Protein backbone atom coordinates (compact mmCIF):
# COMPACT_ATOMS: atom_id res chain seq x y z
CA UNK A 1 0.00 0.00 0.00
CA UNK A 2 1.33 3.44 -0.90
CA UNK A 3 2.20 5.92 1.81
CA UNK A 4 0.26 9.18 2.22
CA UNK A 5 2.07 12.42 3.07
CA UNK A 6 0.59 15.67 4.37
CA UNK A 7 2.30 19.04 4.02
CA UNK A 8 3.30 18.86 7.71
CA UNK A 9 4.88 15.43 7.28
CA UNK A 10 6.85 16.63 4.25
CA UNK A 11 7.99 19.73 6.10
CA UNK A 12 9.32 17.54 8.88
CA UNK A 13 11.30 15.48 6.36
CA UNK A 14 12.70 18.69 4.84
CA UNK A 15 13.70 19.90 8.29
CA UNK A 16 15.53 16.60 8.83
CA UNK A 17 17.44 17.15 5.55
CA UNK A 18 15.68 14.28 3.78
CA UNK A 19 15.91 14.21 -0.02
CA UNK A 20 12.28 14.39 -1.22
CA UNK A 21 13.29 12.73 -4.48
CA UNK A 22 14.01 9.55 -2.49
CA UNK A 23 10.36 9.21 -1.41
CA UNK A 24 8.60 6.24 -3.08
CA UNK A 25 7.34 6.93 -6.59
CA UNK A 26 3.89 5.54 -5.68
CA UNK A 27 3.49 7.76 -2.58
CA UNK A 28 0.31 9.84 -2.33
CA UNK A 29 0.27 13.50 -1.30
CA UNK A 30 -2.28 16.02 -0.06
CA UNK A 31 -2.80 19.06 -2.37
CA UNK A 32 -0.70 21.26 -0.06
CA UNK A 33 2.00 18.62 0.11
CA UNK A 34 2.05 18.53 -3.71
CA UNK A 35 2.47 22.29 -3.68
CA UNK A 36 5.44 21.89 -1.34
CA UNK A 37 6.98 19.30 -3.68
CA UNK A 38 6.64 21.73 -6.57
CA UNK A 39 8.18 24.49 -4.48
CA UNK A 40 11.23 22.30 -3.90
CA UNK A 41 11.33 20.99 -7.47
CA UNK A 42 11.08 17.49 -6.01
CA UNK A 43 9.97 14.43 -7.93
CA UNK A 44 9.52 11.38 -5.66
CA UNK A 45 11.06 8.23 -7.02
CA UNK A 46 13.73 10.04 -9.05
CA UNK A 47 16.65 9.85 -6.61
CA UNK A 48 19.32 7.62 -8.20
CA UNK A 49 20.47 6.30 -4.84
CA UNK A 50 20.55 7.37 -1.25
CA UNK A 51 23.68 9.52 -1.15
CA UNK A 52 26.15 8.69 1.61
CA UNK A 53 26.62 11.19 4.41
CA UNK A 54 30.26 11.43 3.42
CA UNK A 55 32.42 10.56 0.45
CA UNK A 56 34.69 7.46 0.60
CA UNK A 57 37.56 9.75 1.55
CA UNK A 58 35.57 10.95 4.54
CA UNK A 59 34.81 14.44 3.21
CA UNK A 60 31.29 15.54 4.28
CA UNK A 61 28.80 15.54 1.40
CA UNK A 62 27.93 19.06 0.25
CA UNK A 63 24.21 19.74 -0.17
CA UNK A 64 23.57 21.71 -3.33
CA UNK A 65 20.73 24.15 -2.62
CA UNK A 66 17.72 23.93 -4.91
CA UNK A 67 16.24 27.34 -5.68
CA UNK A 68 12.47 27.60 -5.89
CA UNK A 69 11.31 27.86 -9.47
CA UNK A 70 7.69 28.62 -10.27
CA UNK A 71 8.18 29.21 -13.99
CA UNK A 72 5.35 27.64 -15.98
CA UNK A 73 6.38 25.82 -19.14
CA UNK A 74 3.69 24.94 -21.64
CA UNK A 75 3.97 22.89 -24.83
CA UNK A 76 4.13 25.31 -27.78
CA UNK A 77 1.26 24.85 -30.21
CA UNK A 78 -0.77 22.81 -27.72
CA UNK A 79 -3.08 25.42 -26.16
CA UNK A 80 -6.56 24.04 -25.46
CA UNK A 81 -8.96 25.28 -28.16
CA UNK A 82 -12.48 24.03 -27.53
CA UNK A 83 -14.60 25.54 -24.76
CA UNK A 84 -14.59 22.16 -22.97
CA UNK A 85 -10.80 21.82 -23.14
CA UNK A 86 -10.25 25.42 -22.02
CA UNK A 87 -12.56 24.84 -19.05
CA UNK A 88 -10.74 21.60 -18.10
CA UNK A 89 -7.36 23.35 -18.39
CA UNK A 90 -8.57 26.37 -16.40
CA UNK A 91 -9.61 24.16 -13.47
CA UNK A 92 -6.68 21.69 -13.67
CA UNK A 93 -4.61 21.25 -10.47
CA UNK A 94 -1.60 22.91 -12.09
CA UNK A 95 -3.52 26.06 -13.05
CA UNK A 96 -5.35 26.13 -9.71
CA UNK A 97 -1.91 26.18 -8.01
CA UNK A 98 -0.83 29.14 -10.18
CA UNK A 99 -4.07 30.98 -9.35
CA UNK A 100 -3.25 30.46 -5.66
CA UNK A 101 0.21 31.96 -6.24
CA UNK A 102 -1.41 35.02 -7.84
CA UNK A 103 -3.66 35.37 -4.76
CA UNK A 104 -0.63 35.02 -2.47
CA UNK A 105 1.27 37.75 -4.32
CA UNK A 106 -1.88 39.89 -4.24
CA UNK A 107 -1.88 39.55 -0.46
CA UNK A 108 1.78 40.51 -0.33
CA UNK A 109 1.45 43.66 -2.49
CA UNK A 110 -1.58 44.72 -0.44
CA UNK A 111 0.20 44.01 2.88
CA UNK A 112 3.21 46.05 1.77
CA UNK A 113 0.94 49.00 0.94
CA UNK A 114 1.82 48.80 -2.75
CA UNK A 115 -1.85 48.98 -3.76
CA UNK A 116 -4.86 50.88 -2.51
CA UNK A 117 -8.54 50.27 -3.12
CA UNK A 118 -8.85 48.01 -6.15
CA UNK A 119 -5.47 49.10 -7.54
CA UNK A 120 -2.83 46.86 -9.07
CA UNK A 121 -3.07 43.73 -11.17
CA UNK A 122 -1.17 40.47 -11.73
CA UNK A 123 -0.80 38.13 -14.71
CA UNK A 124 0.80 34.75 -15.40
CA UNK A 125 1.25 33.45 -18.95
CA UNK A 126 0.13 29.81 -19.27
CA UNK A 127 0.18 29.20 -23.02
CA UNK A 128 1.03 30.56 -26.47
CA UNK A 129 -2.18 32.56 -26.28
CA UNK A 130 -3.41 32.15 -22.70
CA UNK A 131 -2.79 34.37 -19.68
CA UNK A 132 -4.22 34.17 -16.16
CA UNK A 133 -5.12 37.59 -14.76
CA UNK A 134 -6.72 39.29 -11.80
CA UNK A 135 -10.26 40.65 -12.17
CA UNK A 136 -11.32 44.28 -12.14
CA UNK A 137 -12.64 46.02 -9.01
CA UNK A 138 -11.19 43.78 -6.34
CA UNK A 139 -8.77 44.37 -3.48
CA UNK A 140 -5.63 42.42 -4.26
CA UNK A 141 -5.31 41.49 -0.59
CA UNK A 142 -8.45 39.38 -0.47
CA UNK A 143 -8.64 37.34 -3.67
CA UNK A 144 -9.42 33.64 -3.90
CA UNK A 145 -8.67 31.26 -6.76
CA UNK A 146 -12.29 31.59 -7.91
CA UNK A 147 -11.70 35.29 -8.67
CA UNK A 148 -8.92 34.71 -11.20
CA UNK A 149 -9.75 34.96 -14.93
CA UNK A 150 -8.04 33.88 -18.14
CA UNK A 151 -7.64 35.91 -21.35
CA UNK A 152 -6.01 35.46 -24.74
CA UNK A 153 -3.15 37.68 -25.86
CA UNK A 154 -5.63 40.13 -27.42
CA UNK A 155 -7.29 40.59 -24.05
CA UNK A 156 -10.47 38.60 -24.83
CA UNK A 157 -11.68 36.79 -21.73
CA UNK A 158 -11.83 33.02 -22.27
CA UNK A 159 -12.46 31.75 -18.73
CA UNK A 160 -13.42 32.88 -15.23
CA UNK A 161 -16.58 34.32 -13.77
CA UNK A 162 -15.40 37.84 -12.88
CA UNK A 163 -14.53 40.38 -15.62
CA UNK A 164 -10.80 40.80 -16.19
CA UNK A 165 -8.91 43.99 -15.36
CA UNK A 166 -8.79 46.62 -18.11
CA UNK A 167 -5.08 47.07 -17.41
CA UNK A 168 -4.34 43.53 -18.58
CA UNK A 169 -3.58 45.06 -21.99
CA UNK A 170 -0.39 46.61 -20.62
CA UNK A 171 0.73 43.22 -19.29
CA UNK A 172 -0.08 41.64 -22.66
CA UNK A 173 1.95 44.36 -24.41
CA UNK A 174 4.95 43.26 -22.36
CA UNK A 175 4.37 39.56 -23.05
CA UNK A 176 4.00 40.16 -26.80
CA UNK A 177 7.28 42.05 -26.97
CA UNK A 178 9.28 39.94 -24.51
CA UNK A 179 8.69 36.15 -24.53
CA UNK A 180 10.72 35.74 -21.33
CA UNK A 181 8.06 37.77 -19.51
CA UNK A 182 5.84 35.01 -18.14
CA UNK A 183 4.38 37.08 -15.33
CA UNK A 184 3.75 40.77 -14.68
CA UNK A 185 2.91 42.59 -11.47
CA UNK A 186 1.54 46.13 -11.58
CA UNK A 187 1.16 48.25 -8.45
CA UNK A 188 1.32 51.80 -7.13
CA UNK A 189 3.96 51.63 -4.37
CA UNK A 190 4.35 55.06 -2.83
CA UNK A 191 8.04 55.79 -3.40
CA UNK A 192 8.39 54.40 -6.89
CA UNK A 193 5.08 56.02 -7.87
CA UNK A 194 6.37 59.34 -6.52
CA UNK A 195 9.34 59.03 -8.87
CA UNK A 196 6.92 58.22 -11.71
CA UNK A 197 4.84 61.29 -10.86
CA UNK A 198 7.92 63.51 -10.57
CA UNK A 199 9.10 62.22 -13.94
CA UNK A 200 12.45 60.93 -12.73
CA UNK A 201 14.12 57.54 -12.51
CA UNK A 202 16.46 56.90 -9.58
CA UNK A 203 20.10 57.60 -10.48
CA UNK A 204 22.46 54.70 -11.16
CA UNK A 205 25.67 53.86 -9.26
CA UNK A 206 24.11 54.12 -5.80
CA UNK A 207 23.26 50.62 -4.48
CA UNK A 208 24.74 47.40 -5.93
CA UNK A 209 21.84 44.96 -5.41
CA UNK A 210 19.25 46.73 -7.56
CA UNK A 211 21.86 47.14 -10.31
CA UNK A 212 22.44 43.37 -10.31
CA UNK A 213 18.96 42.00 -9.69
CA UNK A 214 16.80 44.76 -11.16
CA UNK A 215 18.94 46.38 -13.84
CA UNK A 216 18.15 49.79 -15.22
CA UNK A 217 14.63 50.99 -14.43
CA UNK A 218 12.68 52.09 -17.52
CA UNK A 219 10.37 55.09 -17.83
CA UNK A 220 7.22 55.16 -19.96
CA UNK A 221 5.67 58.51 -20.85
CA UNK A 222 2.10 59.06 -19.70
CA UNK A 223 -0.66 57.24 -21.56
CA UNK A 224 -4.15 56.48 -20.33
CA UNK A 225 -3.97 53.19 -18.36
CA UNK A 226 -5.17 50.13 -20.28
CA UNK A 227 -5.05 51.81 -23.72
CA UNK A 228 -3.25 50.30 -26.74
CA UNK A 229 -0.88 53.30 -26.62
CA UNK A 230 0.12 52.45 -23.05
CA UNK A 231 0.57 48.77 -23.97
CA UNK A 232 2.73 49.67 -26.98
CA UNK A 233 4.96 52.08 -25.07
CA UNK A 234 5.48 49.80 -22.07
CA UNK A 235 5.87 46.73 -24.31
CA UNK A 236 8.72 48.34 -26.24
CA UNK A 237 10.51 49.22 -23.01
CA UNK A 238 10.12 45.69 -21.62
CA UNK A 239 12.78 44.40 -23.98
CA UNK A 240 15.39 46.40 -22.04
CA UNK A 241 13.81 46.84 -18.62
CA UNK A 242 12.21 44.44 -16.13
CA UNK A 243 10.88 47.31 -14.06
CA UNK A 244 9.16 50.25 -15.70
CA UNK A 245 7.89 53.43 -14.08
CA UNK A 246 4.71 54.58 -15.85
CA UNK A 247 4.61 58.36 -15.71
CA UNK A 248 1.93 59.79 -13.38
CA UNK A 249 0.68 56.27 -12.71
CA UNK A 250 2.77 53.52 -11.05
CA UNK A 251 5.10 50.63 -11.72
CA UNK A 252 4.95 47.44 -13.77
CA UNK A 253 7.55 44.66 -13.43
CA UNK A 254 7.98 41.39 -15.28
CA UNK A 255 9.71 38.14 -14.41
CA UNK A 256 9.97 34.47 -15.31
CA UNK A 257 7.29 33.72 -12.70
CA UNK A 258 5.03 35.66 -10.38
CA UNK A 259 7.48 35.55 -7.47
CA UNK A 260 10.26 36.90 -9.69
CA UNK A 261 8.05 39.74 -10.99
CA UNK A 262 7.03 40.58 -7.42
CA UNK A 263 10.66 40.68 -6.26
CA UNK A 264 11.36 43.26 -8.98
CA UNK A 265 8.51 45.36 -7.57
CA UNK A 266 9.99 45.15 -4.05
CA UNK A 267 13.47 45.98 -5.39
CA UNK A 268 12.11 49.00 -7.27
CA UNK A 269 10.21 50.53 -4.38
CA UNK A 270 12.98 49.82 -1.84
CA UNK A 271 15.49 51.48 -4.17
CA UNK A 272 13.27 54.55 -4.67
CA UNK A 273 12.61 54.68 -0.92
CA UNK A 274 16.35 54.60 -0.11
CA UNK A 275 17.08 57.32 -2.68
CA UNK A 276 14.27 59.50 -1.29
CA UNK A 277 15.64 59.23 2.24
CA UNK A 278 19.19 59.79 1.00
CA UNK A 279 18.07 63.04 -0.60
CA UNK A 280 17.03 64.27 2.84
CA UNK A 281 20.37 63.54 4.49
CA UNK A 282 22.86 65.09 2.14
CA UNK A 283 22.24 63.51 -1.23
CA UNK A 284 23.68 60.41 -2.86
CA UNK A 285 27.36 59.64 -3.37
CA UNK A 286 27.83 57.54 -6.47
CA UNK A 287 30.44 54.77 -6.60
CA UNK A 288 31.52 55.35 -10.17
CA UNK A 289 30.95 53.82 -13.60
CA UNK A 290 33.88 51.38 -13.35
CA UNK A 291 32.16 49.73 -10.37
CA UNK A 292 28.78 49.70 -12.13
CA UNK A 293 30.46 47.96 -15.06
CA UNK A 294 31.56 45.19 -12.70
CA UNK A 295 27.97 44.85 -11.39
CA UNK A 296 26.55 44.65 -14.91
CA UNK A 297 29.09 41.94 -15.68
CA UNK A 298 27.77 40.00 -12.66
CA UNK A 299 24.29 40.39 -14.17
CA UNK A 300 25.57 38.92 -17.43
CA UNK A 301 27.08 35.95 -15.58
CA UNK A 302 23.74 35.34 -13.86
CA UNK A 303 22.10 35.18 -17.30
CA UNK A 304 20.42 38.57 -17.05
CA UNK A 305 21.18 40.65 -20.15
CA UNK A 306 21.78 44.37 -19.80
CA UNK A 307 21.82 46.73 -22.74
CA UNK A 308 23.96 49.34 -21.03
CA UNK A 309 27.35 47.76 -21.70
CA UNK A 310 26.51 47.51 -25.42
CA UNK A 311 24.99 50.94 -25.84
CA UNK A 312 26.76 53.27 -23.44
CA UNK A 313 30.31 54.39 -22.93
CA UNK A 314 31.63 53.61 -19.48
CA UNK A 315 31.56 57.31 -18.65
CA UNK A 316 27.80 57.40 -19.30
CA UNK A 317 26.91 54.48 -17.04
CA UNK A 318 26.22 56.58 -13.95
CA UNK A 319 24.16 59.21 -15.78
CA UNK A 320 20.46 59.26 -15.03
CA UNK A 321 17.93 57.90 -17.55
CA UNK A 322 16.44 59.49 -20.61
CA UNK A 323 13.48 61.04 -18.84
CA UNK A 324 15.61 62.76 -16.26
CA UNK A 325 17.02 64.92 -19.01
CA UNK A 326 16.24 68.07 -17.06
CA UNK A 327 18.43 66.78 -14.25
CA UNK A 328 21.36 65.67 -16.35
CA UNK A 329 24.55 67.59 -16.96
CA UNK A 330 25.16 68.57 -20.60
CA UNK A 331 26.78 65.92 -22.81
CA UNK A 332 30.05 67.83 -22.70
CA UNK A 333 30.30 67.05 -18.99
CA UNK A 334 30.96 63.39 -19.85
CA UNK A 335 33.77 62.22 -17.63
CA UNK A 336 35.48 60.39 -20.52
CA UNK A 337 37.06 63.67 -21.55
CA UNK A 338 40.51 64.71 -20.49
CA UNK A 339 40.56 66.29 -17.10
CA UNK A 340 37.36 64.48 -16.27
CA UNK A 341 35.78 64.36 -12.84
CA UNK A 342 37.21 61.30 -11.08
CA UNK A 343 34.77 58.41 -10.88
CA UNK A 344 33.06 58.32 -7.52
CA UNK A 345 32.31 62.02 -7.48
CA UNK A 346 28.70 63.03 -7.92
CA UNK A 347 27.45 65.91 -10.01
CA UNK A 348 26.22 68.47 -7.47
CA UNK A 349 23.79 70.06 -9.93
CA UNK A 350 22.14 66.68 -10.61
CA UNK A 351 21.77 65.98 -6.91
CA UNK A 352 20.38 69.44 -6.22
CA UNK A 353 17.84 69.28 -9.02
CA UNK A 354 16.58 65.82 -8.06
CA UNK A 355 16.45 66.88 -4.40
CA UNK A 356 14.48 70.01 -5.28
CA UNK A 357 12.00 68.04 -7.39
CA UNK A 358 11.40 65.46 -4.69
CA UNK A 359 11.19 68.03 -1.90
CA UNK A 360 8.73 70.08 -4.00
CA UNK A 361 6.54 66.99 -4.35
CA UNK A 362 6.81 66.17 -0.66
CA UNK A 363 5.95 69.74 0.35
CA UNK A 364 3.13 70.13 -2.19
ZN1 LIG B 1 -2.56 51.13 -12.21
pLDDT score, position 159: 98
Cβ atoms within 10 A of the Cβ of 216, count?
21
Calpha distance 45→143 (Å, rounded): 35
- d(CA 128, ligand 1 centre) in Å: 25
For residue 181, name the pLDDT band (cuts at 50, 70, 90): very high
pLDDT score, position 337: 41
Residue 160 in this model has a pLDDT that exceeds 60: yes
pLDDT score, position 350: 53
- d(CA 155, ligand 1 centre) in Å: 17
Contacts with 326 (C-beta within 8 Å, 6 or more apart), sequence order: 353
Calpha distance 280→269 (Å, rounded): 17
For residue 209, name the pLDDT band (cuts at 50, 70, 90): very high
pLDDT score, position 308: 85
For residue 339, name the pLDDT band (cuts at 50, 70, 90): very low
Calpha distance 180→194 (Å, rounded): 28
- d(CA 135, ligand 1 centre) in Å: 13
Residue 255 in this model has a pLDDT that exceeds 60: yes
- d(CA 117, ligand 1 centre) in Å: 11
pLDDT score, position 318: 82
Residue 195 in this model has a pLDDT that exceeds 90: yes
Contacts with 298 (C-beta within 8 Å, 6 or more apart), sequence order: 212
- d(CA 134, ligand 1 centre) in Å: 13
Q: Are 6 and 32 in contact (CB under 8 A)?
A: yes
The least confident of 29-33, 69-73, 220-224 is 29-33
The least confident of 31-45, 274-288, 311-325 is 311-325
Cβ atoms within 10 A of the Cβ of 204, count?
23
- d(CA 139, ligand 1 centre) in Å: 13
Q: Are 297 and 327 in contact (CB under 8 A)?
A: no
- d(CA 118, ligand 1 centre) in Å: 9
Residues recognised as catalytic: 167
Higher pLDDT, 320 or 208: 208
- d(CA 136, ligand 1 centre) in Å: 11
Residue 203 in this model has a pLDDT that exceeds 80: yes
pLDDT score, position 346: 44
Residue 322 in this model has a pLDDT that exceeds 80: no
Q: Report the number of secondary-structure helices (H) and strands (E) in the chain.
A: 12, 10
Distance of CA 116 to CAs 105, 106, 109, 228, Å? 15, 12, 10, 24
Higher pLDDT, 153 or 29: 153
pLDDT score, position 331: 41
For residue 6, name the pLDDT band (cuts at 50, 70, 90): confident
Calpha distance 64→149 (Å, rounded): 38
- d(CA 120, ligand 1 centre) in Å: 5
Calpha distance 28→26 (Å, rounded): 7
User: pLDDT digit string (tens) for 12-33?
Assistant: 777 666 778 888 887 877 777 8
For the chain, the distance separating the N- and C-terminal CA atoms, rounded to the nearest angstrom, is: 70
Q: Are 240 and 214 in contact (CB under 8 A)?
A: no
For residue 348, name the pLDDT band (cuts at 50, 70, 90): low
DSSP-assigned beta bridge partners for residue 186:
121, 252
- d(CA 332, ligand 1 centre) in Å: 38
Q: Are 145 and 96 in contact (CB under 8 A)?
A: yes
Residue 259 in this model has a pLDDT that exceeds 80: yes
Higher pLDDT, 229 or 340: 229
Cβ atoms within 10 A of the Cβ of 43, count?
13
Residue 7 in this model has a pLDDT that exceeds 90: no
| Helices 93-111/258-280 angle, 10° precision | 10
Amino acid sequence: MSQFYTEKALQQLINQGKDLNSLPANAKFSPMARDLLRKHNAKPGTATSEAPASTPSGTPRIHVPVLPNYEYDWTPGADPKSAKDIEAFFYSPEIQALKQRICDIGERIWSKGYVDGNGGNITVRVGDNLVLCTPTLISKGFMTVDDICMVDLDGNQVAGTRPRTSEVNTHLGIMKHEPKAKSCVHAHPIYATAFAVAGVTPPACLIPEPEVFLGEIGFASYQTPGTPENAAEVGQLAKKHQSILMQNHGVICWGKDVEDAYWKMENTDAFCHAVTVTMQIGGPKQYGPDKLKELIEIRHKLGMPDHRLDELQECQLCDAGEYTVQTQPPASACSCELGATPSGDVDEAVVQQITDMIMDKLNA
